[in-house]
Chains A and B, each alone.
Chain A
């Protein structure tokens, strides 16, 4: 077990990082005005940060394994929860500000637009993972916890596909995210292959 104190400090820093974009956005709205298209600004900012924190969360394990830096382990959860918080905010901006909570408009968006379905899939998965991210849930779920939380890969892929499908012309940002996600997933594969090459280890 890593020493408790530096881990705590690292977690606090990660938490601060998770909230920083919200402060920055609030400050901008307060001092510079809401700008030409505030609903879109909020939609894009919340969506972008959700994907960024999701990718950060997925980067924790490879960093821990390859750099041997075990202190980062708890950040997987912190960043994962940050991703969920931003994704939830993204969903709220869409439902409340963009669609005015109009049932017909919401239903139409969810059922008729593939990119909305992909986004909803990601948000639904993240919600379940956030709800089962406590120690109590970890204990209760026991051996089922890990396979359940592997759904984060599906959520990340769905989120990036969601982004890619809604872009009008410049596909570079979602493609960069897709490349980062592919790298992070490949790192897991490399680790697995390497371990099975060294010794037929029991599944961890």
Chain B
């Protein structure tokens, strides 16, 4: 697979590119060090007691600017990293923080295939070469009616997709999580038809809000939050934001997605956050921000309606939930 930087960038912006490259390499070195050999952090993690400072900071991240930053205090690190749905490590929300230290995120590569010019396996470093690292402070709304505000570190999904050079037939992008019951003990039970699968329509995937995160809170992504690389689609319910991605597949037809497969009447392919369309078993009108007893109203498209509503113009969002 080729990862060409457009010529204009090489000639006219050589300095900028080099600086970015240096920052990127610095960040990758930090990530590598963190993931490869940081036994202290991993042991603490095994006991479920990781503190924020156990995770290395990522240098050279471009700060978040409007419209990519929510005007709200980020969720507490402990809450965001110890309360996770990541069934690969167990179905309880505390399982991932306890079990995720088994996951080896270095080396890591992503298989890019389907409707692309040159399919192939791409090392994580090369995936990240698509754009300089930046921060995005997004709302995150779980379908279970709890929510967070998370400062993610990563790159726009659209940039990575552009580098994949999808063919004209590519109408959907599908993602898959790693399958390895040795590293992911939750996969020893078939609560899900592994691998975990998610997907987006091409126009959704290339929307500027779509993001691939490798870090959060300025630090390397903890394993339980989807290390080393995860999707973040802030206007959709959390289950769309697939973790620990090993495959990006381009297709002409709508791909299978895990929760839609499991319970089609409860979890749709689109899964846009929508306070007016209840989950069959609970209301989606309000949400519980993590960390307290406060409840707040849920916003259409999780507050990103201005940016994304046009993607769904003319669609019946009650039917396409």
Which of A37, A38, A169 lies at the interface centre, i.e. has the most chain B CB atoms within 10 A of its CB?
A37
Chain B residues proximal to chain A, CB less than 8 Å: 76, 78-79, 82-83, 87, 91-93, 144, 146, 191-192, 262, 278, 281-283, 285-286, 288, 290-293, 295
Closest 10 CB pairs of A and B: A36-B83, A36-B79, A170-B91, A36-B290, A169-B191, A169-B91, A37-B146, A39-B288, A38-B293, A39-B293
A-B contact pairs, 19 of them (CB 8 A): A34-B293, A36-B76, A36-B78, A36-B146, A37-B83, A37-B93, A37-B146, A37-B288, A37-B290, A39-B288, A39-B293, A40-B288, A98-B295, A100-B295, A105-B285, A165-B281, A169-B192, A169-B262, A170-B191
Q: A36-B82, A37-B290 are in contact. Are A113 and B281 (CB under 8 A)?
A: yes
- Classify the secondary structure of B's interface with A: loop
Given A39-B288, A169-B87, A169-B91, also A115-B295 (CB < 8 A): no
State A200–B199 Cα separation when bound (angstroms): 67
Query: B288 — which chain A residues lie within 8 A by C-beta?
Result: 37, 39-40
* Chain A contact residues, CB within 8 Å of chain B: 34-40, 97-98, 100, 105, 108-109, 112-113, 115, 165-166, 168-170
- Nearest B residue (CB) for A34: B292
Interface of A is mostly: helix
- What CA separation (Å) do A34 and B288 show in the bound complex? 13
Report B267 CB to chain A, min CB distance, Å.
10
Further 8 A-B residue pairs, CB within 8 A, beyond A37-B146, A100-B295: A36-B76, A36-B78, A36-B93, A36-B291, A168-B144, A169-B191, A169-B192, A170-B191
Shortest distance from the beta carbon of A52 to any chain B beta carbon, whole Å: 18
Q: In the bound complex, how far is the Cα of B110 from the Cα of A122, in angstroms?
A: 51
B239 CB to nearest A CB, Å: 10
- C-alpha spacing A109/B286, complex, angstroms: 13
Asked if residues B293 and A113 are in contact (CB atoms below 8 Å), the reply is: no
